[in-house]
Amino acid sequence: MMKLEHLGIAVKNLTDAERLFSDLLGTNPYKQEAVPSENVVTSFFRVGEVKLELLESANEDSAIAGFIDKRGEGLHHIAFEVPDIEAETERLKQMGFNVLYDKAKVGADNKLVNFIHPKSASGVLVEVCQEIAE
C-alpha cells in the first residue's frame, strides 16, 4: 500500500525558497541536507502528514539544474512511501513502468529511493521511497 510521503519542488535559491515557504506555512524547515549522489541540497518542511522537499542544485550538471533550465522552478516530483522498495521496484518494472535505477539508492531524509520516469507516469516524475531502518 502506497502512501503520499512528500512533494519535491525545484528551486533556484534554497535560502529564498526556505524563507518563502516558512512564511507560507508558518513553520520552519526541520532539516537541511546535502545529497551528493544527486548533486542537490534539500530542505524539508512538515505539512500535516506530508512533507515538502525543496531541492536546489549543487552544480550545473544536476538533474535539478536541467529541470529548471527547461521548465523553470516548480513541482518536480511526488513521492510515495512503500513498505518494501525492492519488491515494489520489481513489481513496477513488471507492470511496464520505466524505473530509473536497477537498485534503490540512498536519498535524502534517511530513505532508499527509486524513480519512475515521467514518460511512463502521465508526465509526473514519481519517487518511491522506503525509510531506512535504524
| Residues near Zn ion, by CB under 5 A | 8, 53, 79, 127
- Least separation, in Å, of the C-beta of 16 and Zn ion? 20
In the complex, least distance from residue 17 CB atom to Zn ion, rounded to whole angstroms: 15
Q: How far is the CB of 48 from Zn ion (least distance, A)?
A: 17
SS3 17: helix
Q: Tell me whether residue 18 or residue 127 sits nearer to Zn ion (CB atom).
A: 127
3-state SS string over 19-78? Answer: HHHHHHHCCCCCEEEEEHHHCEEEEEEEECCEEEEEEEECCCCCHHHHHHHHHCCEEEEE
Which set of grid coordinates corresponds to residue 16? 529564498
